[in-house]
Amino acid sequence: MDLRKRKANELTLVVLISADLSSWFIVLFMDKRYALNYSLIWMFIMTVQIMSKVFFGVWVYKLYKEAYTDILTGLYNRRYFYKRLPNAIMKIPFSLLLIDIDNFKSINDTYGHVVGDFVLRQFADILRSKARKDDIIARWGGEEFVMALPQTGVDEAFHIADAIRRAVEGHYFCCEGVTCNITVSIGIASIDERADIDDIEQFFVTADKALYKAKENKNYITVAKM
């Protein structure tokens, strides 16, 4: 379910509930004006219908969140990212950031997984703060994250990546009396209007190669054009 389908479903639910509410008030008005005793029965039935639709609407939304959201960070997961990517990649120029926390294993080994999980959640907040309206952020797996940047050329993508790198470098991650610092390495794959975009997977291959080079230095950004 992409964002447009989700909004359409939410709008449908609102329309259905609004129709039931309208009918409910009409019956209430008729009951008072014409003293129709049987209207109480219809009011009860419609009240049950409204409550049922609200319940199932919340239930469906919860299922949607569980299917497409990373439970730890609250970011989108890989499944959702893959669903959104084909549309995003058409908005060229397009750039992809592959972001990895440097030496994250040492944080878990030194301070424990509770602190490690807290670092991941705070890092996700930093990514959100640097993202724009149409950017898509997802947890790719472990300590690796990905950002899709529609209508973003390589220079602007580097500017965004560097803002993330500097924000992380200057942030103190504090949890249960433990304070630690982290850095990130970022690989960028970018495409412009003249390039061929048939193979989406090639983006990840290119970004991953750039990330591998960035991690040779740590706290570094490497750019690769498609």
Cα–Cα distance between 79 and 134 in angstroms, integer? 18
CA 165 to chain centre: 20
Pairing, β 94-101 against β 173-175: unpaired
pLDDT of residue 5: 46
Q: Supply angle C-alpha 211, 219, 118, rounded to 5.
A: 95
Q: What is the pTM of this model?
A: 0.74
DSSP state of 92: S
Q: Which of 10, 66, 143, 169 is catalytic?
A: 143
Cα–Cα distance between 216 and 88 in angstroms, integer? 30
pLDDT of residue 192: 84
pLDDT of residue 175: 85
* Mean pLDDT per 10-residue interval, the chain, length 226 residues: 46 51 54 52 62 61 67 93 90 95 94 93 96 95 96 96 97 89 96 69 91 96 89
DSSP state of 176: T
Does domain 78-225 fall into CATH 3.30.70.270? Answer: yes
Catalytic residue check, 201: no
